């Protein structure tokens, strides 16, 4: 079996790659995959926390996942829901989008787009695929609530403390 793929694009991030989740491919054992997804979700949450503007609440974390990562969107959502209450908050949603696999067969030269991970050419069945993508795992955007009028909480708790009633008014 011979295949080529573009060099390791498995960044978790808005370009900034935080850590490469490794080279997980379709045949990861189920338990390994679960651990793997838990750590990916932890990284995504950490990344979202870092990138969300101060004082804002993350409503949605949008992620694209390549088919060759072997990552299960359901498992990611499961871990996200388990971890969000103590991190981003219960309002946060994880929006996972699987990216179709694009490539070309080196034997028959046909190009293809597949909704599933494949290792042989859909036309001639030869295993000589040159894949354009599949390893991606990117946090593409965050939807945040930045505390507009419907939230009148002070964004900066320090500020609130400085203005505590009973203290001299200062200037």
What residues between 97 and 116 interact with Zn ion by CB under 5 A?
A: 105, 107-108
Query: Quick one: CA dihedral 82, 88, 92, 97, positive or negative?
Result: negative
Q: Give least dist CB 43 to Zn ion, A.
A: 37
CB of 126 to Zn ion, least distance (A): 5
Give the shortest CB-91-to-Zn ion separation in angstroms.
Answer: 47
Contact 13, 50 (CB under 8 A): no
Closer of 91 and 125 to Zn ion (Cβ): 125
Distance in Å, CB of 19 to Zn ion, minimum:
35
Rounded Cα–Cα distance for residues 32 and 50 (Å): 27
Given the complex with Zn ion, which of 73 and 122 has the nearer CB atom?
122
Phi and psi based region of residue 170 (left: phi greater than 0; alpha: psi -120 to 50; beta: remaining): left
139 lies in the binding site for Zn ion (CB under 5 A): no
Q: At what angle do helices 30-51 and 73-84 cross, to 10 degrees?
A: 50
Of residues 25-64, which lie at the interface with Zn ion (CB under 5 A)? none
Alpha carbons 45 and 126: distance in angstroms, whole number: 40
Would you tell me how many other CB atoms lie within 10 Å of the CB of residue 151?
A: 13
* Residue 110 C-beta: closest distance to Zn ion, Å: 5
- Please give the structure tokens belonging to residue 94: 């994880």
Nearer Cβ to Zn ion (132/160): 132
CA quadruple 13, 17, 20, 26: dihedral sign: positive
Instruction: Single out the segment in contact with Zn ion by CB under 5 A; choices: 22-30, 93-101, 118-126, 134-142.
Output: 118-126
Q: Which of 40, 68, 121, 142 binds Zn ion (CB under 5 A)?
A: 121
Closer Cβ to Zn ion, 96 or 129, answer by number: 129
Site residues (vs Zn ion, CB under 5 A)? 105, 107-108, 121, 123-124
């Amino acid at each position: 079996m011979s295949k080529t793929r573009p060099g390791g694009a498995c960044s978790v991030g808005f370009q900034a790659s935080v850590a490469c989740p490794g080279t997980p491919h379709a045949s990861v054992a189920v338990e390994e995959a679960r651990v793997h997804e838990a750590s990916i979700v932890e990284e995504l949450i950490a990344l979202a926390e870092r990138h969300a503007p101060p004082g804002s609440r993350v409503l949605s974390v949008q992620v694209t996942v390549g088919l060759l990562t072997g990552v299960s969107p359901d498992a990611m959502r499961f871990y996200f829901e388990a971890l969000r209450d103590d991190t981003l908050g219960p309002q946060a949603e994880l929006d996972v989008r699987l990216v179709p696999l694009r490539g070309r067969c080196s034997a028959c030269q046909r190009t293809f787009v597949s909704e599933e991970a494949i290792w042989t050419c859909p036309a001639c069945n030869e295993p000589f695929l040159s894949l354009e993508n599949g390893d991606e795992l990117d946090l593409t955007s965050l939807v945040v609530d930045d505390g507009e009028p419907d939230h009148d909480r002070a964004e900066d708790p320090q500020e609130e403390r400085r203005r505590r009633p009973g203290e001299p008014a200062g200037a």
